């Protein structure tokens, strides 16, 4: 293992989420679990806080909670910037870069030059720290300007296995499937799309199998597609489709209609239309999420970029360490089938967090304070039945009323809404992202709040057993006071668990 003189990233902000020590960061890349370590590569600018000089940063963790940042892994050069991609462990040494006993890590990424994008390869024989660009690059070139973001996995149907690459023609809103025996020579298999949400370019695809409700005899494939703009909360968002994959073609269980040319051009889809599609997150700040290679099927884990292209370059950075952006919490994925037969993706945060204080609120009418003087990260779990209340609100307050954040659930509409102010934030930031619940008769929230830097914090809300998730950046408010209020009546059987993060 190559040593590093960088201390663990966890020393400063953020407390629960990965963020680089300094400079710009966006999409997670090359997530891979190898030899007991989680490797997180990510889009970065080694020279500043702007979106430029794109290279792959690198961090490792043994527990997905405490991260050590290393020197950048793959650097841009005069020929191309290093856009998004993936890493696999070549256990069979199909590429010839390693050995059967000491397999190489192989990265497939987009080499991006003005007016041209193609897929390139780099490999590492020291466990993922030092990378060599393949002299035969590019390994897959369609001669187009928006062909990018390869996610590679090993497909094995019980016969001879091979590598599959999932990439996008971004402007065409198409996912393209290719196969290879050696990771260096690729042949076309099939295409998916355009279909479903098409209000922006398609980016950062991923595809993987999951057992429905844990039944290994009932396995479906999940295709993730990030798009920008056109997300459910405006700007960036990530859509998912469930279906079957036979090693050549992906077939959705419930196909979406093909959009007409007019829709592809004017990019106008209503909120009602968008809510007919699957989304991994209903907030504005969860984008380009991809999963780790090297984990068992039941351990499928996703990390996403916690930001939005509508304002990412204008969000205040911390003056002390000059970094922009953070990643979401790592989320364990599973698949369930509801009573109507629809397959739904579930997400569960998988970092360790103390139990904290359990507060029995009983029959709650009016407002009660849950915690005050909270300066760092916190987790709040709230459960209740509506009783005769018409709604419930959780309020996050600071010394300034302009920074109050309110999360509410309305009984009649079955919607959960987050109201975030724009205090100190750029235009396009204020708003009220929301999501509609299927189970609207009760409150079941799992809320994670973190301080990313001196001026920006984050909220990740998981509800309906993780089938509905809402992630949003908020103006930082420290110290914070948390309170919960019943609206229009009393809640019944209310309980809150409040815990503060301890590093």
Which residues pair with residue 385 across a beta bridge? 442, 492
Contact 53, 76 (CB under 8 A): yes
Residue of 5, 27, 285, 397 marked active site: 27
Start-to-end CA span in the chain (Å): 26
Which residues pair with residue 223 across a beta bridge? 207, 241
Contacts of 77 (CB under 8 A, 6+ apart): none
CA dist list (Å): 159 to 156, 162, 247, 352, 464: 7, 10, 11, 39, 39
Q: DSSP E strands: which ranges in 75-143?
A: 81-89, 105-113, 116-124, 132-133
Q: Which residue from 74, 56, 51, 57 is spatially nearest to 6, judged by alpha carbons? A: 57
Burial state string for 112-129 with b = 16 or more CB within 10 A and e = fewer than 16: beeebbbbbbbbbbebbb
Q: Which two tokens stand for residue 31?
A: 């997530």
- CA 58 to chain centroid, in Å, comes to 17
- CA 124 to chain centroid, in Å, comes to 26
27 assigned to active site: yes
Residues tagged active-site: 27
């Amino acid at each position: 293992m190559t040593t590093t003189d960088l201390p663990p990233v966890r020393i400063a902000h953020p407390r629960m989420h990965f963020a680089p020590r300094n400079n710009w960061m966006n999409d997670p890349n090359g997530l891979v679990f190898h030899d007991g370590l989680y490797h997180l590569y990510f889009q970065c600018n080694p020279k500043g806080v702007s979106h430029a000089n794109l290279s792959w940063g690198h961090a490792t963790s043994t527990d997905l909670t405490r991260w050590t940042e290393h020197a950048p892994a793959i650097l841009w050069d005069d020929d191309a910037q290093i856009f998004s991609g993936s890493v696999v462990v070549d256990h069979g040494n199909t590429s010839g870069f390693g050995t059967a006993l000491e397999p190489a890590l192989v990265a497939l990424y987009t080499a991006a030059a003005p007016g041209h994008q193609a897929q390139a390869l780099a490999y590492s024989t020291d466990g993922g720290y030092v990378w060599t660009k393949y002299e035969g690059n590019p390994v897959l070139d369609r001669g187009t300007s928006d062909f990018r973001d390869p996610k590679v996995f090993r497909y094995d149907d019980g016969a001879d296995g091979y590598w599959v690459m999932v990439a996008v023609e971004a402007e065409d809103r198409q996912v393209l499937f290719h196969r290879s025996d050696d990771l260096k020579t690729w042949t076309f298999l099939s295409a998916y799309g355009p279909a479903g949400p098409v209000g922006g370019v398609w980016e950062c695809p991923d595809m993987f199998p999951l057992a429905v409700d844990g039944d290994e005899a009932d396995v479906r494939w999940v295709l993730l597609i990030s798009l920008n703009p056109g997300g459910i909360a405006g700007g960036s968002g990530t859509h998912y489709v469930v279906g079957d994959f036979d090693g050549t073609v992906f077939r959705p269980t419930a196909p979406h209609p093909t959009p007409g040319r007019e829709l592809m051009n004017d990019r106008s889809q209503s909120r009602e239309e968008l809510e007919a599609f699957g989304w991994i997150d209903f907030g504005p700040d969860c984008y380009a999420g991809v999963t780790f290679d090297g984990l068992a099927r039941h351990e499928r884990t996703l990390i996403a970029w916690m930001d939005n292209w509508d304002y990412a370059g204008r969000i205040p950075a911390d003056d002390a360490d000059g970094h922009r952006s953070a990643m979401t919490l790592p989320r364990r994925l599973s698949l369930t089938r509801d009573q109507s037969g629809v397959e739904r993706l579930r997400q569960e945060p998988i970092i360790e967090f103390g139990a904290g204080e359990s507060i029995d609120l009983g029959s709650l009418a009016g407002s009660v304070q849950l915690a005050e003087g909270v300066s760092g990260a916190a987790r709040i779990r709230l459960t209740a039945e509506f009783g005769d209340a018409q709604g419930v609100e959780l309020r996050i307050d600071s010394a300034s009323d302009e920074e109050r954040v309110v999360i509410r659930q309305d009984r009649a509409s079955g919607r959960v809404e987050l109201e975030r102010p724009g205090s100190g934030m750029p235009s396009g930031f204020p708003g009220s992202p929301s999501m509609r619940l299927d189970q609207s008769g009760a409150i079941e929230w799992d809320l994670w709040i973190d301080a990313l830097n001196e001026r920006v914090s984050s909220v990740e809300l998981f509800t309906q057993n993780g089938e509905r998730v809402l992630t949003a950046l908020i103006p930082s408010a420290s110290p914070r006071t948390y309170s919960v209020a019943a609206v229009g009546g009393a809640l019944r059987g209310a309980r809150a668990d409040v815990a503060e993060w301890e590093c």
